[in-house]
Chain A
Amino acid sequence: NAGVTQTPKFQVLKTGQSMTLQCAQDMNHNSMYWYRQDPGMGLRLIYYSASEGTTDKGEVPNGYNVSRLNKREFSLRLESAAPSQTSVYFCASSPGLDQETQYFGPGTRLLVL
């Protein structure tokens, strides 16, 4: 039981490049989330998926798209990376959307030059 896994662990992009961050959970959770964390700051919600087939915007969705591929997987895509998107990205999951404990992955460190 690996919990929440994320790939890649680290990525460097040039401005304007695109990439997809992958997230998978093996806990049979219904809800999944993407956060970003800037240095010295708390986490901010980018997008979330209450259940398979649904996605909704969080606090800072601009510049991102998501796909809930199936119950296990929730990907985050940057279509045209900008230096302001340099951050650590965390994926999380929970049994349901009504605020049960969220379980976080190890994070993806993204540097946009």
Chain B
Amino acid sequence: LAKTTQPISMDSYEGQEVNITCSHNNIATNDYITWYQQFPSQGPRFIIQGYKTKVTNEVASLFIPADRKSSTLSLPRVSLSDTAVYYCLVGDIMDSSYKLIFGSGTRLLVRP
């Protein structure tokens, strides 16, 4: 399974755009990139998933360069409620043996 590397923590201010980059140098051809968000005392929540280029939904955007060795989760105009831990996961979602492998994630703190 591809290993991911993320910054341990990031600080931001309300209204700013936040970009969290994840490195996955050993990503395989069939692997997808998925991001989860976890608030304190809650279970993780799916944010976004992509394979290449750019994916956007109502919560975030995911940018994946052509070599797919990294990806960037972009949160537009963050608010205090975006303070959470963000996990980047990589794997072949069509492989029945694929399991979610969570690293330590990136702790995002949004300040007033």
Given A90-B43, A107-B42, decide whether A102 and B96 contact each other with a Cβ distance below 8 A.
no
CB pair A106–B98 under 8 Å, yes or no, is no
When the two chains form their complex, are residues B102 and A99 in contact, meaning their CB atoms are under 8 A apart?
A: no
A99 touches B94 (CB 8 A): yes
Residues of A in contact with B, size category: 20 to 34
Of B42, B44, B93, which one neighbours A99 at CB under 8 angstroms? Answer: B93
Q: What 1/0 mask marks residues of chain A from 75 to 113 whose CB sits below 8 Å from any chain B CB?
A: 000000000000000101000011111111111000000
Q: Which of A12-20, A41-49, A61-69 lies at the interface with chain B?
A: A41-49
Contact of B100 among A45, A98, A105 (CB under 8 A): A45
B98 touches which of A92, A99, A104, A107 (Cβ 8 Å): A99
Q: How far is the CB of B97 from chain A (nearest CB, A)?
A: 8
A99 in contact with B91 given A40-B104, A48-B99, A50-B96 (CB within 8 Å): yes
A42 and B43 in contact, given A99-B91, A99-B93 (Cβ under 8 angstroms):
no
- Tell me how far the C-beta of A57 lies from the nearest C-beta in chain B, rounded to whole angstroms: 11
Mark out the residues of chain B between 55 and 112 whose CB falls within 8 Å of any chain A CB in the assembled complex.
87, 91-96, 98-105
B29 is an interface residue with CB less than 8 A from chain A: no
Q: Which residues in chain A, 18-67, are within 8 Å of chain B measured between CB atoms?
A: 33, 35, 40-45, 48, 50, 58-59
Least distance between B7 CB and chain A CB atoms (Å): 14
Q: Which residues of B contact A100 (CB under 8 A)?
A: 93
| Cβ–Cβ contact A42 & B93, under 8 A | no
